[in-house]
Amino acid sequence: MHQKNPPRSVARLLLLSLVVLGVGACVEGPTTTDGSPHLNTDGTSCPVAADIGLPALSDEEIAQVVLTVNMGEIQQGELARQQATSPEVRRFAEQMVQEHTAVNQELQTRLQALRITPRENPLSQQLMAESNQILAILRSSADTGTFDLVYMDVQVSLHAKTLFLMDSVLQPQLRNAELRDFALAARSTVQRHLDTAVPLQKDLFPSP
């Protein structure tokens, strides 16, 4: 099932976000499943936070970033469950809601046990603002017959971006060993979501 070309606004928004965060070729290179850094296409490691000028984050701030990312996925998935026309896309959206909700619940349980209180920070606020913009774009795409493709484009881009954030920004700065273990397990979930999203996106994309 193919749909019309998606609005360019979503592509511009995600591209700008990735450029600001310094993703570049990192999301295109090979990835690892053991939590080791993302690689560029030439096999070199992607930069860590300090290398690209991002501020240092505490465990409290990293926790808020992860909660924010998952909440964005949940909100987008809930909308997709209502608006998607493809059964495959609806199933994927349901999976995103269930699994990102489970990740947030587990993280909140661990944070309470560790007595760590999530703290807002510029990165979490930026991600929340982007998520709200994406929701607005998704809602508008439902009126143009492009919702499924726009949603899957967003999912591919956001999961690639999340992998970069985890590998180069979040995991290297985590201090608490239990949170590092949690982040490593969560990374495998994000990679699996990306691996599922890519073929769905390709199937929806209009033929030349």
pLDDT, averaged per 10 consecutive residues of the chain (208 residues), comes to 49 44 38 40 45 75 97 98 96 97 97 97 95 95 89 96 93 95 95 96 77
Q: How many CB atoms lie within 10 A of CB 68?
A: 22
Would you say 106 and 98 are in contact if contact means Cβ atoms under 8 Å apart? no
What is the DSSP secondary structure assignment for residue 170, as one 8-state letter? I
12, with CB counted inside 10 A (0-12, 13-18, 19+), is exposed
d(CA 52, CA 142): 37
The structure tokens 């030439």 sit at 42
**Partner residues linked to 39 by β-bridges:** 45
Helices (H), the chain: 8-20, 59-83, 87-114, 122-141, 147-164, 177-204
Which residue type is seen at 141?
A: S
In order of their start, the domains of the chain are 8-16+57-204 (1.20.1260.10)
- At 56 the pLDDT is 87
d(CA 107, CA 79): 23
- At 37 the pLDDT is 42
Show Cβ contacts of residue 114 under 8 Å, excluding neighbours closer than 6 positions.
Answer: 176, 178, 179
pTM across the whole model: 0.77
SS3 1: coil
- At 134 the pLDDT is 96
